[in-house]
């Protein structure tokens, strides 16, 4: 199981993770610029593929553009519906160089797009075109990260099937650098106070316009240097944080959410089962304490090739 769920000690690849996050923000902001806005900012996210992470098709004029981080061939690849394809190597290079290479690649393909150069949701941001301080890239570490996302995406996709209400895709947020899936009660939420560093309040408030139970995975950062699964509710109902969790799961008051270490999952005899238990327990904590209409929203998880029973 540990071969399928690779080791991801944050300290060992933190510099690569930081550089990769900034690279993904550049590509993600291309998607943000080209796509019309969808509720909760879902138009801007990336998606796990059989080779890496993709923007999925984005409109430009009457055509489509797709950009993919290919962690198998270690290339950034751009394709259009006209048959164009351009690529360059994912290798050690500054954020500034990556930014200009993406711009040159798109220009060659006839795609005109100008993005906001300021990184999102990061402390002490540097304009992409001026950032020559972040350049580390370990292809093997990036590949391990993607291999972990393959397993996590697979389990998240399964969890997503057990809900009849509004539910997000399983998608990767390049701002916060996490893979997430969210369920909604269908009721409006109180206005979010905002105040998230590097994220305009208008975007935060639109994202949290409705009651939500959200779960995800992030590989760690300088403030929390440990890969972990998380789950939170907005607004947080009374009694939410007191609900029992599967082994390894706990509520972290400082983070304001339930956490389950990635290592607890990868070392479990049945990683899928432990992760599904955590996702289910945290959703039930939000839905029960928040008095969601679970009879109308819940359903059994889907089975391949079998119609959902009515």
pLDDT digits (tens, 9 = 90+) for 260-293: 999 999 999 999 999 999 999 999 999 999 999 9
pLDDT tens for residues 198-216?
A: 899 999 999 999 999 999 9
Q: Other CB atoms closer than 10 Å to residue 172's CB: what's the count?
A: 22
Predicted confidence (pLDDT) at residue 240 exceeds the cutoff of 70: yes
Indicate whether 265 and 151 sit together in one domain. yes
Alpha-carbon distance 308 to 299, whole Å?
9
Cross-strand partners of 180: 171, 216
Query: What's the pLDDT score for residue 87?
Result: 98
Look at residue 2 and tell me whether its pLDDT is greater than 80: no
Averaged pLDDT of the chain: 97
* Phi, psi (rounded to 5 degrees) for 251: -95, 130
Q: Are residues 155 and 268 in the same domain?
A: yes
Are residue 175 and residue 47 in the same domain, yes or no?
A: no
Cα 203 to Cα 27, 44, 121, 199, distances in angstroms: 19, 12, 12, 7
Residue 309 forms part of a structural domain: no
DSSP notation for 121-176: S-SS---GGG--S-----HHHHHHHHHHHHHHHHHHHHHHTTB-S-B---EEETTT
Is 1 part of a structural domain of the chain?
A: no
Q: What number is the average pLDDT over the span 216-239?
A: 96
Q: Tell me, yes or no, whether 147 and 283 share the same domain.
A: yes
Q: How many CA atoms, within 13 angstroms, populate the side-chain half-sphere of residue 260?
A: 28
User: CA–CA separation, 200 vs 210, rounded Å?
Assistant: 18
CA distance 80 to 59: 10
Determine the pLDDT at residue 309.
85
As to burial, measured by CB atoms within 10 angstroms (0-12 exposed, 13-18 middle, 19+ buried), residue 191 is exposed
Give me the residues paired with residue 123 across strands.
none
Give the residue numbers spanning the domain of 149: 139-297
4 domain residue, yes or no: no
* Claim to verify: residue 26 and residue 158 sit in the same structural domain: no
Whether the predicted pLDDT of 123 surpasses 70 = yes
* Overall domain count for the chain: 2
Strand partners, 80: 65
Do the domain assignments include residue 310? Answer: no
304: in domain: no
Given a cut of 90, whether residue 310 has pLDDT beyond it is no
pLDDT of residue 1: 58
Residues 52 and 26 in one domain: yes
> Does residue 88 carry a pLDDT above 80?
yes
pLDDT at res. 3: 81
Q: Is residue 225 part of a domain?
A: yes
Looking at the fold, whether 23 and 65 belong to one and the same domain comes out as yes
Are residues 290 and 203 both part of a single domain? yes
Residue 126 has pLDDT above 80, yes or no: yes
Q: Give the strand order in the sheet containing 228-234.
A: 171-173, 178-188, 210-218, 228-234, 257-261, 250-252
In a domain, 40, yes or no: yes
* Token reading at 109: 């393909």
97 and 151, same domain (yes or no) = no
Mean pLDDT computed over 97-109: 97
What torsion, rounded to 10 degrees, do the Cα atoms 195, 284, 186, 310 define?
150
**Of residues 101 and 223, which shows the higher confidence score?**
101
The string of pLDDT tens digits covering residues 171-190 is 999 999 999 999 999 999 99
């Amino acid at each position: 199981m540990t071969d399928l769920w690779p080791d991801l000690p944050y300290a060992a690849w933190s510099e690569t993770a930081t550089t990769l996050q900034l690279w993904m923000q550049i590509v993600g902001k291309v998607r943000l610029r080209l796509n019309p806005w969808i509720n909760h900012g879902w138009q801007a996210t990336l998606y796990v593929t059989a080779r890496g992470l993709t923007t999925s098709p984005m409109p430009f004029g009457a055509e489509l553009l797709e950009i993919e981080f290919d962690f198998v061939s270690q290339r950034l690849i751009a394709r259009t519906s006209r048959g164009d394809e351009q690529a360059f190597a994912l290798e050690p290079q500054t954020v500034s160089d990556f930014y200009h290479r993406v711009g040159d690649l798109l220009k060659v393909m006839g795609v005109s797009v100008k993005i906001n150069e300021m990184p999102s949701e990061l402390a002490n941001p540097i304009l992409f075109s001026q950032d020559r301080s972040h350049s580390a890239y370990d292809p093997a570490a990036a590949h391990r990260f993607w291999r972990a996302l393959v397993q996590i995406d697979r389990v998240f996709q399964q969890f997503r099937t057990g809900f009849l209400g509004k539910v997000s895709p399983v998608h990767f947020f390049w701002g916060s650098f996490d893979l997430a899936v969210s369920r909604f009660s269908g009721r409006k939420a109180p206005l979010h106070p905002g105040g998230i560093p590097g994220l305009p309040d208008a975007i935060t408030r639109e994202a949290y316009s409705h009651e939500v139970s959200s779960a995800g995975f992030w590989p760690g950062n300088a403030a929390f240097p440990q890969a972990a699964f998380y789950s939170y509710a907005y607004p947080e109902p009374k009694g939410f944080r007191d609900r029992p969790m599967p082994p390894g799961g706990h509520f972290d008051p400082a983070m304001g959410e339930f956490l389950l270490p990635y290592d607890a999952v990868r070392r479990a005899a049945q990683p899928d089962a432990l992760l599904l238990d955590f996702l289910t327990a945290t959703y039930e904590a939000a839905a029960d304490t928040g008095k969601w209409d679970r009879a109308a929203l819940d359903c059994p998880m889907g089975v391949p090739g079998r119609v959902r029973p009515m």
